[in-house]
Amino acid sequence: MRVIDASTTAELLPYPALINALDAAFAQGDAAATAPPRLHYSVPEPASTDQPPQTDRTLLIMPSWAQDAGVVVKLVNVVPSNSARSLAAIQAQVLVADAQTGAWSTLIDGATLTARRTAAASALAARYLAPADAHTLLVVGTGRLSIELVHAHMSVRPSIEKVLIWGRDQAKAQAVAREISGAQAITDLAQACNQADVISCCTLSNQALVKGAWVKPNTHIDLVGAYRPDLRETDGELVTKSHVFVDTYAGANGEAGDLLQAVEEGHFDMANIQADLHQLSQHGYIRPDNCITLFKSVGASIEDFVAARMVASAVQ
């Protein structure tokens, strides 16, 4: 079995090529690969941990396959308490099986693949939805995905010239900012939201961080972090004000905490979702003047399939 480490995985998934590959796969829909809804389990923290008991771990199992391209399975543990251990919250591996024999042929660093494909999906949505002349990007969150999102968004909006980083831990925000040329760590989130043309959120928050009252017209919102119904990164007011798009309808209806909580509060109806990535990739989108667009993703196995096949094909 070939084992592909993190640095090689990143090298084999350059953003322009990965975004284009995802665009083509979403346009094809079911013809690209079979990607059933992921299996989702809540796993209690070990009894010995010093973390609060409500911070359960999440086990995700994400399979996908195509007749002539084999099987891809991603195994993920999401461990929110890892932040206290200075470890990544997402612990993952990706297995690729040979199309002919079914033998597991390649093991790919799952955390890197997940970060790259997640950021690429956000950038794909931004290609269709973000203002064409966007120049200020605000990233809310300081995990490893924050840096990936900056590079991915800038690959589809090279007009971005100012990057702001906000985190609940200012030291972590400053550390992320140092990794990005010209980026600035900020403390006033409300003010930054009012300045930004693109706001990308990548946290494990269960409270609204970005408020509708703070966001100006002609902004694009990218929500990556709330992958469970009990998590959220925005308030219902922002969802109400926005033209809402999702990665997949199935994922949004089952797991998109920002949208599901807005529905519970009477701010939104899931029937008002404008399109998913399949429809965007097929038909595009004409952005109305001064509107707010909001893209909510929870992740889809087709993204793992595309990224894993890119890596596996390159190392054959």
pLDDT digits (tens, 9 = 90+) for 224-233: 998 889 999 9
Q: Is the pLDDT of residue 274 over 80?
A: yes
Q: Is the pLDDT of residue 64 over 90?
A: yes
Among 20, 52, 45, CA closest to 120: 20
CATH number, residue 235:
3.40.50.720
Mean pLDDT of 33-54: 75
User: How high is the pLDDT of residue 82?
Assistant: 83
Instruction: Tell me the average pLDDT of the chain.
Output: 93
**Percent of the chain residues topping a pLDDT of 90:** 79
Task: Write the DSSP string, the chain.
Answer: -EEE-HHHHHHT--HHHHHHHHHHHHHHGGGT-B-PPPEEEEEPPPTT--S-TT--EEEEEEEEEETTTEEEEEEEEE-GGGGGGT--SEEEEEEEE-TTT--EEEEEEHHHHHHHHHHHHHHHHHHHHS-TT--EEEEE--SHHHHHHHHHHHHH-TT--EEEEE-SSHHHHHHHHHTSTT-EE-S-HHHHHHH-SEEEE----EEEEE-GGGPPSS-EEEE-S--STT-EEE-HHHHHHEEEEES-HHHHHHH-HHHHHHHHTTS--GGG--EEHHHHHHH---PPTT-EEEEE----HHHHHHHHHHHHHHH-
Q: Looking at the structure, do residues 180 and 295 belong to the same domain, yes or no?
A: yes
Q: Looking at the structure, do residues 168 and 235 belong to the same domain, yes or no?
A: yes
Mean pLDDT of 267-291: 95
Q: Looking at the structure, do residues 34 and 149 belong to the same domain, yes or no?
A: no
Beta-sheet pairing, 39-43 with 57-66? antiparallel
Q: How many structural domains are present in the chain? A: 2
* Cβ–Cβ under 8 Å, residues 113 and 206: no
User: How high is the pLDDT of residue 68?
Assistant: 84
Q: Looking at the structure, do residues 163 and 190 belong to the same domain, yes or no?
A: yes
Mean pLDDT of 289-294: 95
Q: Looking at the structure, do residues 145 and 29 belong to the same domain, yes or no?
A: no
Q: Looking at the structure, do residues 218 and 288 belong to the same domain, yes or no?
A: yes
Q: Looking at the structure, do residues 103 and 175 belong to the same domain, yes or no?
A: no
User: How high is the pLDDT of residue 29?
Assistant: 86
Q: Is the pLDDT of residue 193 over 80?
A: yes
Q: Looking at the structure, do residues 136 and 224 belong to the same domain, yes or no?
A: yes
Domain span at residue 84 reads 2-113+302-315
CATH number, residue 53:
3.30.1780.10
This prediction's pTM: 0.91
Q: Looking at the structure, do residues 80 and 8 belong to the same domain, yes or no?
A: yes
Residues in the chain: 316
User: How high is the pLDDT of residue 54?
Assistant: 52
User: How high is the pLDDT of residue 50?
Assistant: 56
Q: Looking at the structure, do residues 227 and 287 belong to the same domain, yes or no?
A: yes
> Highest mean pLDDT: which of 43-47, 208-212, 300-304?
208-212
Q: Is the pLDDT of residue 10 over 80?
A: yes
Q: Looking at the structure, do residues 286 and 309 belong to the same domain, yes or no?
A: no
User: How high is the pLDDT of residue 40?
Assistant: 85
Q: Looking at the structure, do residues 67 and 177 belong to the same domain, yes or no?
A: no
pLDDT tens-digit series, residues 89-110: 889 999 999 888 999 999 999 9
Q: Is the pLDDT of residue 222 over 80?
A: yes
pLDDT band at 138; cut points 50, 70, 90? very high
